[in-house]
Structure formats: structure tokens, C-alpha cells
Amino acid sequence: MVSVYEQTQAALRVIKAREPEVRAWIHLDEESALEAARAIDRRAAGGELYGVILAAKDIFETADMPTAFGSPIYKDYRPVKDAAVVAKLREKGALILGKTYSTEFAAAFPTPTRNPHNLDHTPGGSSSGSAAAVASGMVRVALGTQTLGSIIRPASYCGIVGFKPTYGRVSRSGVLNLSETLDTIGFLGATLDDVAQVFYSLVDETAPAGIPHERKPRFAFCKGPGWDDANADVQSRIGRYVDSLREEGACIETLDLRSTLSEVLRAVQSVHDAEAYRNFTWERTQHFDLLSAAFQKILSRGEAVTREAYERALIVGEVGRVHMQKVFENFDGLITLSATQEAPRGLASTGSPSMNAAWTFLRGPCVSLPKLKSANGLSVGIQLIGKPFDDSHLLGCARWLDARCPET
């Protein structure tokens, strides 16, 4: 068995080669990482995550590393304890190698991180550093969060797997609170097995055997909120991908939810902005000049959301979730795009979350699989959406899907 120390050395070699151009890490102390690896090896290979080396998005508090939340306000902040998820990963034998770049307060202002597959393009946000670290082979799995689209979109742009579990499945204690209604802990990984292993360990579950061979999952090719924002090229490519699945015998109906869920995208933005405004009162009142113009704009929008509008938006989410319970009586998962396009050129924007935000608000688990290529050769993911609290079933469906149609 290869020791954690040897695996850490190998990871650091990859980082040394690729980090100058990719810029995935905001904090990485090689000596501390190697010492932590030695300590894990001294405890012997007993933990179920022994040998798993992870990156943590820099909004997860860590007692042994700084946590800056993507903001100069917190550049010298040293937490006194680990976030619950970090502590549990360490308890299970995993190594937290370092901290990866997050956009400012996991919102809109970009990081210096570049897309490993084309350095002139964004890796997405806000889990930009985590996605880039995985995509460039520095680690196999990384912690991320999704408030609007910050796991599924960067996974799509960087050609890796993203998994956003059901809202609340993984503890958010010790993680930046941008929006308590939306924030969800999730994972970016090189493979579906990588993210599933970490997820099941964190929620103390055993991975199921998968979908029974005698029953094919029932999918819907879904045109939902954000579909009309996607460009014609990627719409066409996922259409051909679904056709190829049907030719291989997959059971896929067509479902159009654009009208039914038409209010959800507007509602989720109102909730996001209103909660950001109230949750960042201290930063707004004490350090306004250190906030980016992009974050100031979010706070300005949030201030304008009335109590009545906020409450109506929450009700829209509740109504949508009730409707989706009925939808999932007929389907195991919904197939749609993970992003509106391939990774946009330039680093000034992290791209649009409109293919993700509504599904985040509706709280079900989502997986992005790197199955499509755009006209310029960059990745576009397919997004598989499942029933809330049926995460293991969705992962099984994703595995079934992943094994039956190669990347196109």
C-alpha cells in the first residue's frame, strides 16, 4: 500500500508543475502537509478515508490554516476550530492538503484561478480553486459549496464530476453563511466514485449496490428554468447525446418545466440577495470600502428586497418543491445541461448559474458528468437531478448513466 506521505509527495510534485499557471491554491504549506501525512501514517491505515487527499474551498474554517473567505477583510483570520465537515474528514483518516481559492464570500467576484484545460477561460465560480485543483490532477476530490451554481457549473467548465447533495445532508457548521436557505456543501472529483466515497463516509452510510439490473432507470430530458439561456450549440449537443442514450435502450421521456417553474429563478435571486444583505451587515457597515463592486451590487439589490417580496419568494420555492415531488413519482432523474455554455473566455466573469440556481432552491441532489464537448473542444457537463433525500439513488442512476454512453 502506498503511504499517505508518498501520495502527498506525488500531489505536491503535480502542484509544483501546474500551480504557477493554474493558481488553484490560496494556502498550501508543504512542510505542514507532509507532517500531517506522517501523522496519518503513524496511526496506521485504519480510517475508512485513509489515503484520501482533499482540497478545501477557502470558506471552510480550519484550525491549522487561515480562512480568508475570498476577502481582504479576513486575510489574517485564523479560526479556532475546524468546520464540522473538515473535522469529520480528518476523523475518518483523510488529509486536508490546503485551501483553494473561493470567489469573494462565495459570490460573484472572480479569483485569479484559471481553467486548466484552457488558461484563457474561467474555471467557473465560486468553487473555482477546488474545481481547477481536481481538473489539473493535483487532488482527486475537493470540498465545494453551491448557493446558486457553484459546484455543478465549475465541474462542467473544468470537465470533472460535481455532486451537490440534498440541502442539509452535510453539516454547514463552520462554513461561511451566504444564504441559509440555499448554501449546500458538496464535492468536486475526478470520478463519480471519488465523490461518492467521501459523501457516504461523511453521512455514515454504506454505498448501495446500485440500480437493479432488471430495471432500467426512468429519465426525463428536461427543459427547465434557465434552458432558454443556453446557447444553441450546447442545446443541440445534449439533444444528440440523449438520442444516443435512447438508441442504447435508455428509457427517456421529454419534459418541459419552463412554464411550471417560471417564477423560481426570479425568486431564488431575491432570496439570495436578501439573505446576503442581512448576513453581511458587519462587513457592510464596518468595511464597505474593502468589498468589491460586484458584492456591493449584490448587497444593494438585497436591501431593495422587501419583507413581503422575500416571503413570497420563499413560498415560490415551497410550491416548486411540492410540484417536484409529483414529478419524481414518474422519474428516477431529470437530465439537463450543467451550464448554459462551455467555460466563457476571460477571467472577468465566472459564468451564468441560470442552469443551476432553480434546482438549488428546489433542494434535490444534482450530479454533473463530463459528457459533452463544445465546438471549441471545452467540456460541457450533463446535469442529473434527483428527488430530495434520495441522494444514493441519484448516485446509482448517475453510475448507470455514466457506464452506458461515452463522452461525445
What pLDDT tens digit does each residue of the chain (408 aa) get? Answer: 899 999 999 999 999 999 999 999 999 999 999 999 999 999 866 689 999 999 999 999 999 999 999 999 999 999 999 999 999 999 999 999 999 999 999 998 999 999 999 999 999 999 999 999 999 999 999 999 999 999 999 999 999 999 999 999 999 999 999 999 999 999 999 999 999 999 999 999 988 865 555 568 999 999 999 999 999 999 999 999 999 999 988 999 999 999 999 999 999 999 999 999 999 999 999 999 999 999 999 999 999 999 999 999 999 999 999 999 999 999 999 999 999 999 999 999 999 999 999 999 999 999 999 999 999 999 999 999 999 999 999 999 999 999 876 655
Among this protein's residues, is 326 annotated catalytic? no
- 4-202, which class in CATH? alpha beta
Burial pattern 71-105, b for ≥16 Cβ within 10 A else e, equals bebbeeeebeebbbbbbbbbebbbbbbbbbbbbbb
Q: Which of 88, 99, 102, 126 is catalytic?
A: 126
> Is 57 among the residues known to form the active site?
yes
Q: Catalytic annotation on 201?
A: no
The CA distance from 312 to 71, in Å, is 32
Q: How many Cβ atoms sit within 10 Å of the Cβ of residue 305? A: 20
| Active-site annotation holder among 57, 88, 164, 223 | 57
Q: What is the model's pTM?
A: 0.97
Residue of 102, 130, 136, 150 with catalytic role: 150
* All three cell numbers of 103: 470567489
